[in-house]
């Protein structure tokens, strides 16, 4: 079995940190999405759960829901990277 070097450990920590950051961004995006959907339901009597997207979301298993939420965080993470470089 190959020994894990110090450089490999640093790279792994860097990638794990990025994954956690994207997950946090997806949580923020999901919260804003839920708030906006609730606002739509209140203002124009729109129901997310009765539409096609609601049925699709309910049909996903837990792993697929986590992947979907993680993918929601990618655009916010890219925006974060752009603002950090400026």
- Each residue of 53-64: pLDDT tens digit? 677 777 778 788
Tokens standing for residue 15:
């990638």
Q: Is the pTM for the entire model greater than 0.85?
A: no
pLDDT digits (tens, 9 = 90+) for 28-81: 888 887 777 777 667 776 666 677 767 777 777 878 877 877 787 888 888 888
Contacts of 86 (CB under 8 A, 6+ apart): none
Q: For the chain, give the number of residues.
A: 86
Torsion of CA 9, 12, 16, 18, to 10 degrees: 120
The residue behind tokens 């699709």 is 56
């Amino acid at each position: 079995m190959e020994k894990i070097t110090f450089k490999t450990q640093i790279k792994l920590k860097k990638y794990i940190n990025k994954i956690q950051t994207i997950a946090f961004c997806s949580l923020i995006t999901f919260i804003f999405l839920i708030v906006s959907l609730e606002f739509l339901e209140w203002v124009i009597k729109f129901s997310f759960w009765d539409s096609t997207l609601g049925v699709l979301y309910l049909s996903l298993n837990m792993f697929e829901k986590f992947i979907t939420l993680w993918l929601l965080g990618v655009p916010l993470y890219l925006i974060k990277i752009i603002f950090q470089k400026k």
